[in-house]
Structure 1
Amino acid sequence: MPTPSPDRPADDVIALATGQQVAVRTYGHKKAGDCLPLVVHFHGGAFISGSLDSGCTVAHLLAAAGARVVSVAYPLAPEHPFPQPLEIGYGVLQWAWRHRVRLAGKGAPVYLAGEEAGGNLAAGVCMMARDQRHPPLAGQILLSPMLDPCVGTPSLRAATGTATDCKWAQGWHLFLRSAHDAQHPYAVPSAAQRLAGLPPTLVLVGQDDPMRDEALAYAARLESAGLEVARHVFDKARQWPDALLQPDPRPCPCADEVQAQFQRFFATTRCRSELKP
């Protein structure tokens, strides 16, 4: 894999254990002797759009917070509905674990992260890793995660108003092939009956964020299950989650605050992860 400079990410195609080929983009730079947080990242796009380019805002902020980031070009619905994006995501996580020393250094703690639909995928892959008992994760980072297929929370209704066409409802419809899929915890992690065993979680939303209510409800469920949760609502975050999905060189809203939240989460979780080199 090409080595990115501190400011320029590197694109590559990796081979998973299943033989599938997946495009990834790596951010950050490891110097000799470093041990960095290693983050597998999923972009947003309501399951039906988005790319490595639209994931660059969050990936850059994670790298600026000191992480080495592997951003995943997962397959999109409707051609690739659940569970295909999750299976690819878990395959990339396994790949990242196998290559963690080269990517981020000996003993590097491994995390999952995602924004909007990517937050859902990160949460689902996190459950897959727990159930497979591999690899061990230091934490998951969910930004405006898209978690409720009912798309009926007060925050979402306030954001969409009287509009009859909701991209999030359309995305859920094309991602979930049937009502049975909507009952699967990997597809809808917020409805999972078993939350025990998940790693520490950071949930970030905006005050006027359509995903605010469902994200905070998931954070509350995790906390009620006795899990470690950090949450933050940004008062000045405008147009989240859309602002997180723009391949724009300008800083996203609350960029400094988001980066600070990432740094704090890495600092408080990496020392607790008992990862083997």
Structure 2
Amino acid sequence: MKGNETASRFGKEQASMAAQWQEMRFGATTARVRIFDGGARTSTMPVVLYLAGGAFQQAEQRQGDLPVARRLAERGAFVMEADYAGSATNVFPEAMERMFDVLAGLNGCRKKFGGARSPLLIAGEEAGGNIAAGVALKARDQMPGELSGQVLLSPMIDPMMVSGSIRRADEIGMMGRWSDGWSRYLRAACGLFHPYAAPCRCTRLSQVAPALIMTADDDPLRDETLGYADRLLAAGTPVTRHVLPAGSGWAGLYSHDEGPWLDTVADAFSAFVHELKH
């Protein structure tokens, strides 16, 4: 299916906020996606490819809503969640490559979702944040200037798991899950050192899309998240960082539980997009 045909089908789904999974084709790639759209169309509304978390271990599609994706749509974004975690493709490089193809497809028809001035963003949480960061790096290399921004919410980007904050992972029951997830995703040992698989190991971070990066003081992924933000900044990439205080309920990001932290994410996203447009 060509880009304009894909956009036409999506357009029929945009009248409501019902988020139903459907298969769509992007060039040679078929992906399962669902749309979060508030229905208020503007010529500059952001178009967002959103990647959920799950420690690289999802075996089936989630049926429930994704709180962050829904909230961003309520704030005026067109949000497409793509399933990178099919049972046979939730590994590197297949998962990352498929999401790059989806992003490239969105780029080709984003005017159908917003307008000529709509910024294109990729966003991800936890494992999805890893893939989002990897896709942003590949976009810098293969479609320079087309990606407007990246939104990384506690991205799971360090397979070595040696940061100081990661020791808190047992407190929220995630240490074993993250360790197993990394083993699954990095099926081939060479993936451990590939910058698209472990962005924290990338040695060339200049000219990557501006980033909004968020974590919390009691987040086990805090140190690797902030470390990546620091390295992007050092490479000259514009970065907006937000560190929520301990006790803010940030762990709800991993369990898809709603809480006041969602409003903080939405406010930060709105401000970030505003800066991208000006």
- TM-score when normalising by structure 2: 0.88
> How big is the shift at 1:34?
3.1
Identity of aligned residues (%): 35
Rounded Cα–Cα distance in structure 2 between residues aligned with 1:214 and 1:184: 17
CA RMSD of aligned residues (A): 2.3
Give the aligned residue type for 1:21: T
Does the residue aligned with 1:23 lie in a helix, a strand or coil?
strand
Rounded Cα–Cα distance in structure 1 between residues aligned with 2:30 and 2:150: 25
Give the aligned residue type for 1:65: R
Give the aligned residue type for 1:47: F
Give the aligned residue type for 2:48: V
| Contact preservation (8 Å) 2:26, 2:102 | yes
Rounded Cα–Cα distance in structure 1 between residues aligned with 2:73 and 2:174: 38
Rounded Cα–Cα distance in structure 2 between residues aligned with 1:6 and 1:29: 7
1:142 and 2:149 are equivalent in the alignment: no
Deviations 1:200-225 (A, max 9, x none): 10111122111101000000001111
Rounded Cα–Cα distance in structure 1 between residues aligned with 2:88 and 2:164: 27
Choose the corresponding residue for 2:32, options 2, 23, 32.
23
Give the aligned residue type for 1:237: S
Counterpart of 1:275 in structure 2 is: none
Choose the corresponding residue for 1:103, options 79, 96, 113.
113
Deviations 1:7-39 (A, max 9, x none): 433543211211x32111111245465320001
Deviations 1:62-120 (A, max 9, x none): 21222111110113467541001111100110111112011122221100100000000
- Which one has more relative contact order, counting CA pairs under 8 Å at least 6 apart? 1
Give the aligned residue type for 2:190: H
Does the residue aligned with 2:113 lie in a helix, a strand or coil?
helix
| Contact preservation (8 Å) 2:169, 2:175 | no
Choose the corresponding residue for 1:133, options 123, 128, 143.
143
Choose the corresponding residue for 1:45, options 33, 38, 54.
54
Matched ranges for 1:1-277 at <5 A:
1=10, 2-5=12-15, 7-18=17-28, 20-31=29-40, 33-49=42-58, 51-53=61-63, 56-76=66-86, 80-134=90-144, 136-160=146-170, 166-235=176-245, 236-238=247-249, 240=251, 243-246=252-255, 251-271=258-278
Q: Does the C-alpha gap of structure 1 residues 140 and 221 become closer, same or farther in structure 2, counting only changes over 3 Å?
A: same
Q: Which runs of 4+ in 1 moved over 4 A?
A: 30-33, 52-55, 76-79, 161-165
Q: Does the C-alpha gap of structure 1 residues 124 and 74 become closer, same or farther in structure 2, counting only changes over 3 Å?
A: same
- TM-score when normalising by structure 1: 0.88
Q: Does the C-alpha gap of structure 1 residues 6 and 132 become closer, same or farther in structure 2, counting only changes over 3 Å?
A: same
